Amino acid sequence: MIDVHCHMQFHKFENDYDAVIKDAISNGVTTIVNTGTSIESSRQAVELSQKYENLYAIVGIHPHHADKTDAKYEGEPPQDWLVQLESIAKSSKKVIGIGEVGMDFWNYRTNGIVPVDLQEDAFRKQIELSIKLSLPLQIHTRLAWDETLSILSDYKKDFQAPSGMFHCFSGSVDFAKKVLDMGFFVGFDGNITYGGIPPGETTALVDLVKYVPVERTLTETDSPFLSPIPLRGQRNTPSSIPIILDFIAKTKGISYNTLEAQIERNFSEVFKV
Ligand SMILES: [Zn+2]
Ligand SMILES: [Zn+2]
């Protein structure tokens, strides 16, 4: 079982990450990918990947942090965030992708919407880095479907196949079609179990689960966020992957084991692990 996107380096796990990771592994989760959202959390994701055989890292600046790239990190010059990110990405073979990067027009309670030009600049620079390093992208997009696709399409000729995945997928069936047509894979999280249409969206996530072929589907938890029902509201961990797999298998009308094996193949295809 694969958790292709979570954040064990976030402070919600600082006291017990070792127990949480060991628990997930003993529950049959074979691979856990920690994704960075800033320079600091990217570094921490790499550090964790070096402590455990089953852990990997994806490094990048989240669009929600695109206005904080000039914050000082460990005394290094602020304008060097891209240089720093490149050196983090090259620091270990366990770095398997660039993410989470993208565009996000959701109005967050903490700092609203980051200026669109800053988001776009950080996204473009990180797409270019992923091409330079031949690492797949792990894309975060929320309520910014057209903008995300239009930016990505500028680099289409430079992408390797497959070029990566969209994580925590939401949007319309039409958007899903365009994402698949561009060769991307699609990650689903515990929020697919919530039912109804998510805030600000137009399409129920279960309809997207139905639409995306199993050959393009990946499983993720986004821990500590988005615990699936019946754990909704609690801190999420990679141990909830079986609940997400079971929900997708039932929705697709295929066996749990068939889906699990297919997702392991998909993961290898995208991330070469
Ligand atoms: Zn995200
Ligand atoms: Zn995330």
Residue 69's nearest CA partner among 18, 25, 129, 9 is: 129
Structure tokens that stand for 46 in this block: 């790499």
* Confidence at residue 75, expressed as pLDDT on a 0 to 100 scale: 44
Ligand 2 center to residue 239 CA distance, Å?
16
Any idea which architecture 2-271 has in CATH?
Alpha-Beta Barrel (3.20)
pLDDT of 163 above 50:
yes
Ligand 2 center to residue 6 CA distance, Å?
6
State mean pLDDT over 183-189: 98
State mean pLDDT over 152-161: 92
Give pTM, 2 decimals. 0.95
pLDDT of 70 above 90:
no
pLDDT of 168 above 80:
yes
Residue 145's nearest CA partner among 120, 170, 162, 163 is: 170
Tens-place pLDDT, residues 97-114: 999 999 999 988 887 899
Ligand 1 center to residue 139 CA distance, Å?
8
H or E stretch covering 88: helix 81-90
Tens-place pLDDT, residues 213-247: 999 999 999 999 999 999 999 999 999 999 999 99
Average pLDDT in the chain: 94
pLDDT band at 62 (very low <50, low <70, confident <90, very high): very high
Ligand minimally distant from the alpha carbon of residue 4: 2
Ligand 2 center to residue 140 CA distance, Å?
8
Structure tokens that stand for 252 in this block: 């697709």
Ligand 1 center to residue 218 CA distance, Å?
14
pLDDT of 34 above 90:
yes
* Confidence at residue 208, expressed as pLDDT on a 0 to 100 scale: 98
